[in-house]
Amino acid sequence: MSVTQVEVGVGRLAALLHELPAAGVFVVADERAAAAHPAIGAAVDARTSFVVPSGEEHKTWATAEALLLALDAAGIDRDGLVLGVGGGVTTDLAGFAASLHRRGVGWIAAPTTVVGAVDAALGGKTAVNLGGGKNTVGTFHEPLRVVADPSTLTTLDPRHVRAGLAEVLKTALIAGGEAWDSVLALDLAFDLDDAWTDATVADFGAIIERCLATKLDLVTRDLHDVGPRRTLNLGHTFGHAFEALALPELLHGEAVALGLICAARAANNVSLETTIRERLKAWQLPLSPPPPARDVDALLTEMLRDKKRAGGQHTLIVPHAPGDVRVEEGVKETRIRKALAAVLEG
């Protein structure tokens, strides 16, 4: 049963930083977020802290070890608190360290990216990358709170905002109904290179709330990812393989976008695949991977690392229709190859 308190709203991050006690709180902050947001930078300066270098390439065991050593040196006790502020890399690392320090201390996730806010921060999956694989070492350790402030998105590079929309599309596919319709209506009729308006921030706040509501429902019913929560991996079996081969050229959300196309091809749903392609193209997301991730055999090798594999066979999350996403086990390699062709052909 999930006990995470979810809070979404403009100004919530500053309020959180103000309300936390000065003692017993250890801040884990993304370096870019700390530089972009004065309130985060001030928190780093005022409290015991650890700054995580930006980028997936730093989500490693070495970084986690350095963080754990810093927590130990800071004397954080069992009743202490870890605050992770940043994107998915930072919140994953913060939660992972919190789960191990003193056999587990409480933590709060304060995501500052679209991917972090709509997906990574909630659910208690914490991890680091090991041996070239994605999230190959991790724990389940739910945050006490997830505090998402949509105003933090305004300092992001537009490419990172758009990459996050792939996770939004994924979640809407799982939810179906009104959530799917709302994503189809999201035309991004503004230029992310221009200044954000209050209305745009509010729109993203509503997107975050809707995605978190869907994920919270699945997590509450299936905390340890053995049942319906597995559908949240939609697009990720393929996406993690693209990401592993093309890192850092390909962002996580961009890799998931490609994975969604492949998953729709695996469902043999031409109409849905077309709709997904149209959405991704409208949001300026890639429809094919860069050269390092175009080798089918190399992609299949990476997919052997997938955590959902069982009995030596592939497991796929397949979208047969919006709201009808299924976990399919024992998937043959020939079907995987045909699905990969969706982004490699032409």
Tens of pLDDT along 135-190? 989 999 999 999 999 999 999 998 999 999 999 999 999 999 999 999 888 866 45
Task: Give the contacts of 78 (CB within 8 A, at least 6 positions apart).
Answer: 102, 103, 104, 105
Confidence of residue 118 (pLDDT cuts 50, 70, 90): very high
CB 75 within 8 A of CB 101: no
* Whether residue 19 has pLDDT greater than 70: yes
Instruction: Pick the more confident residue, 26 or 198.
Output: 26
User: CB atoms < 10 A from the CB of 312, how many?
Assistant: 7
* Whether residue 2 has pLDDT greater than 80: no
Domains of the chain in start order, with CATH, are: 5-155 (3.40.50.1970), 158-185+224-344 (1.20.1090.10)
User: How far, in Å, are 56, 294, 329, 338 from residue 311 at the CA level?
Assistant: 30, 27, 10, 22
Share of the chain above pLDDT 90, in %: 84
Instruction: Pick the more confident residue, 103 or 197.
Output: 103
Confidence of residue 346 (pLDDT cuts 50, 70, 90): low
pTM (whole model) above 0.95 = no
CB 212 within 8 A of CB 6: yes
* Whether residue 104 has pLDDT greater than 70: yes
Residue 312, pLDDT score: 77
* Mean pLDDT rounded to a whole number for the chain: 93
Q: Is the CA virtual torsion 190, 193, 199, 202 positive or negative?
A: positive
Lowest mean per-residue pLDDT among 110-114, 149-153, 191-195: 191-195
| DSSP state letters, 281-338 | HHTT--SS--GGG--HHHHHHHHTT-TT-BTTBEEEEEEEETTEEEEEEEE-HHHHHH
Task: Give the contacts of 123 (CB within 8 A, at least 6 positions apart).
Answer: 2, 142, 215, 219, 229, 232
